[in-house]
Structure 1
Amino acid sequence: MDAVDDHLSVLYRGPLSSCDYDCPYCPFAKRRDTPELLRADRAALERFTAWAAAYRHGRLSVLFTPWGEGLVRSWYRRAMVELSRLPHLERVAIQTNGSCRTGWLAEADRAKLALWVTYHPGQVSEQRFLAKCAELTALGVRFSVGVVGLPEQAAAARRLRAALPPEVYLWVNAADGHVYDDAEAAGWAELDPLFGYSRHPHRSAGLPCRTGESVVSVDGEGTVRRCHFVRPPLGNLYDDSYREQLRPRACPLGSCDCHIGYVHLESLPLYDVFAGGVLERIPHGW
């Protein structure tokens, strides 16, 4: 077994970009994919799942980061279940708005499956969202909950934190383009003690990052990149050409402002902070 990919984390993003929500801050709000694109997305995901099942180079973890909402599609639910049952898979997680039904989760290995759930006030009632969280808790599903740190969502976020069980971690994403003064940032940090990591972009140019070594990004065609934000390809997943490119390397970008990117920076302590929960964004011991 090669030391470089003893444990490989894959961030998968297929062509799906449709969503059932209409958030004003999201470019994919209420977007509809054509039947042709949905068929292509399904075929791509099934191909990826088959690759994961046949993976024999060590331990594997997968985070689905669709532009749209994946779990309202049967093939994403099925992929989550199938991947969770693989003996060499450590974790399968997905970013979701939590709008889908939850009964399918009973079929999964819930010791390996996790959800990264975003609450969008205005798209779902607080009561309905909390009821969904209660269903996940009753099913024994590991999940985190988060909000976008917009001023107009602060009151809803405070109510949510008060209503959620204390063992559920509530994260806050800094809103794109919003500048937080110290008082506002302190307010968000009362809800998420790790908000400081999201408040400002992190300088990354020339700094070591685990992406491209033990973490990669994959699209529906199987093109492998070091992460979603660095575009030059490393090879293809399905011909194994990417494997010879896995090695330590520095970040070529000036800064990184997205959690799924900067969490892998070796200059930050986040692998210790989120030990055991990097992909699903759950701090160690929470």
Structure 2
Amino acid sequence: MTPTLRILYRGPLSSCNYGCEYCPFAKHTEIDAEHDADRRALDRFVAWVGEQRDRRISVLFTPWGEALVRKRYQDAIVTLTNMEHVEKIAIQTNLSCRLDWVERCDKSKLGLWATYHPGEVAREKFLAQCRDADRRGVRFSVGSVGLKEHQEDIAALRDALPEHIYLWVNAYKRQMDYYTPDEIARYTQIDSLFPINTERHPSEGEPCQAGQTAISVDGDGVMRRCHFVRDPIGNIYDSNFADALQPRLCKNETCGCHIGYVHMDRLGQYELYGDGLLERIPVKPVWRALPMSP
């Protein structure tokens, strides 16, 4: 059997029930026709995965918005996790939906990448959702965008979470020199992998699994190496799509997003995350490597 193909799927969905000011899809509402188009694209993708029985497949859903408040995405994940040749199905989510649907999944193949938005949800409400997911036996990581004004909220979340749950912090990179050394140290106390995320890793000419064993796919089936290299390399709905899965060197100057640089060979992220790569759970408990400051 060929190596596992990791797919980052992002369909037309572009609406969210949260209003984060840094997100272009905050509180966006789609019309029925747009939802119908997203549903058709999702159904087609799920059917295609079902046909790839000679290939091991894992999928990370990375929607522009919040997908799990839509029943169609819950049903798609249920269907996909119960396919024998599927290794893992994960999704980025704000964890605002009910979680009873996960009981229909093969939970050994399910992963959640849950993002905490302090300005949109009370911490205790988010923690209650985390406890529910944990009680149900769902593997998940928790994280947040490391805005300065949210540092205390994120630290409190880390203290309240069970120790076995990894909490990651995404560095805010839209402003140069955003963090002071003390702020970097504080976030590193919360997430020992934070310094990796603060960098824009030099990537031009670097070998990367993107385009070979990992691809991004849009609602029309268009394949790209990753979300950050816009040139198409094929279409999964073409019979010869696998011909496009070839080693490639990165053409971008730098790579600063986790879902991009995690595939760079020299950074060793595959070894760090193992089978928790899609849901962002390291193999070993590397978090909380430093004592929390008072």
TM-score calculated relative to the size of structure 2: 0.94
Aligned twin of 2:7: 10
- Note the C-alpha offset of 1:25: 1.5
- Note the C-alpha offset of 1:34: 1.4
> Whole-Å Cα distance in 2 between the matches of residues 52 and 198 of structure 1?
31
For 1:53-99, what per-residue CA distance to the aligned partner results, in whole angstroms no more than 9, with x for missing partners? 11133211000000010000111000111110111111000000000
Calculate the aligned-residue CA RMSD, in Å.
1.0
- 1:113-152 to structure 2, matched below 5 A, reads 113-152=110-149
- Note the C-alpha offset of 1:27: 1.2
- Note the C-alpha offset of 1:12: 0.2
AA at the equivalent of 1:122? G
AA at the equivalent of 1:181? T
TM-score calculated relative to the size of structure 1: 0.97
> Whole-Å Cα distance in 2 between the matches of residues 54 and 223 of structure 1?
17
CA contact (8 A) 1:215 1:227 kept: yes
SS state at 2:231 partner: strand
- Note the C-alpha offset of 1:242: 2.6
Change in Cα spacing, 1:240 to 1:227, as seen in structure 2 (3 Å) is: farther
- 1:11-90 to structure 2, matched below 5 A, reads 11-90=8-87
- Note the C-alpha offset of 1:176: 2.8
For 1:40-61, what per-residue CA distance to the aligned partner results, in whole angstroms no more than 9, with x for missing partners? 0011001000011111332110
- Note the C-alpha offset of 1:126: 0.8
> Whole-Å Cα distance in 1 between the matches of residues 139 and 165 of structure 2?
9
Aligned twin of 2:230: 231
> Whole-Å Cα distance in 2 between the matches of residues 203 and 70 of structure 1?
32
Aligned twin of 2:108: 111
- 1:230-249 to structure 2, matched below 5 A, reads 230-249=229-248
> Whole-Å Cα distance in 2 between the matches of residues 255 and 119 of structure 1?
27
SS state at 2:59 partner: strand
> Whole-Å Cα distance in 2 between the matches of residues 28 and 177 of structure 1?
17
- Note the C-alpha offset of 1:285: 2.8
Q: Among residues 154, 159, 169, which one is paired with 2:151 in the alignment?
A: 154
For 1:207-244, what per-residue CA distance to the aligned partner results, in whole angstroms no more than 9, with x for missing partners? 00000000011000000111111111111111133311
Aligned twin of 2:99: 102
- 1:198-237 to structure 2, matched below 5 A, reads 198-237=197-236
AA at the equivalent of 2:104? E
- Note the C-alpha offset of 1:193: 0.5
Unmatched segments (≥5 aa) in structure 2: 286-294
SS state at 1:234 partner: strand
Aligned twin of 2:184: 185
AA at the equivalent of 1:136? A
SS state at 2:274 partner: coil
CA contact (8 A) 2:215 2:226 kept: yes
AA at the equivalent of 2:234? G
Moved over 3 A (4+): none
CA contact (8 A) 1:13 1:218 kept: yes
Unmatched segments (≥5 aa) in structure 1: none
AA at the equivalent of 1:76? Y
Aligned twin of 1:255: 254
CA contact (8 A) 1:61 1:92 kept: yes
> Whole-Å Cα distance in 2 between the matches of residues 168 and 116 of structure 1?
11
> Whole-Å Cα distance in 2 between the matches of residues 245 and 137 of structure 1?
39
For 1:143-198, what per-residue CA distance to the aligned partner results, in whole angstroms no more than 9, with x for missing partners? 00001011000010010000000000000001132422322111101000000110
> Whole-Å Cα distance in 1 between the matches of residues 133 and 107 of structure 2?
10
AA at the equivalent of 2:279? E
> Whole-Å Cα distance in 1 between the matches of residues 45 and 122 of structure 2?
35
CA contact (8 A) 1:6 1:57 kept: no
Change in Cα spacing, 1:240 to 1:216, as seen in structure 2 (3 Å) is: farther
CA contact (8 A) 2:173 2:198 kept: no
